[in-house]
Amino acid sequence: MSDDYAQFTKGKLKLKTDSEISKKKKKKKSSKKNEEQKIAETDRDTVQIKNGPERFTKAEMAFKKMQEKMQNKRIKEKAQTTHKQQVEKFNEKLDQLTEHFDIPKVSWTK
């Protein structure tokens, strides 16, 4: 039986990690013009992302508007009730539930 497993190494699996070999990366020198161009390109990209109509269909836009409308409605409803009112409403709901899972009394003396 030991012959079957002779070809395998025993012990834990050793993985390559960065902690074993640490080489410092050389920093590339970049000019200010290149940095400004990169910043300008990223600004243009973010503006295009914010202008949603280019990447969303009409149905997606309508769905998104309805989602926002429903979310605003929920927020307004939550904001109208105070925490105390929410707790009272929750307690009333618990009182209306059946007590099927309550532990029955075992002893009549207590």
Note whether residue 89 is domain-resident: yes
| Tally of structural domains, the chain | 1
pTM: 0.34
- The pLDDT tens digits of the residues spanning 39-48 come to 888 777 666 5
pLDDT band at 62 (very low <50, low <70, confident <90, very high): very high
Amino acid at 34: N
Distances (CA, A) of 17 to 21, 26, 63: 7, 20, 46
Note whether residue 32 is domain-resident: no
Q: What pLDDT does 73 receive?
A: 95
Note whether residue 62 is domain-resident: yes
Note whether residue 29 is domain-resident: no
Q: What is the arithmetic mean of pLDDT over 60-86?
A: 93
Note whether residue 35 is domain-resident: no
Note whether residue 58 is domain-resident: yes
Q: What pLDDT does 21 receive?
A: 58
- The pLDDT tens digits of the residues spanning 8-50 come to 777 887 777 656 556 677 777 767 777 788 888 877 766 655 5
Note whether residue 78 is domain-resident: yes
Note whether residue 59 is domain-resident: yes
Asked if 53 contacts 61 with a C-beta cutoff of 8 angstroms, the reply is: yes
Domain that holds residue 63: 42-95
For the chain, what is the mean pLDDT? 78
pLDDT band at 2 (very low <50, low <70, confident <90, very high): low
Task: Put residue 52 in one of left, alpha, beta given phi > 0 → left and psi -120 to 50 → alpha.
Answer: alpha
Closest CA to 51 of 43, 63, 59: 43
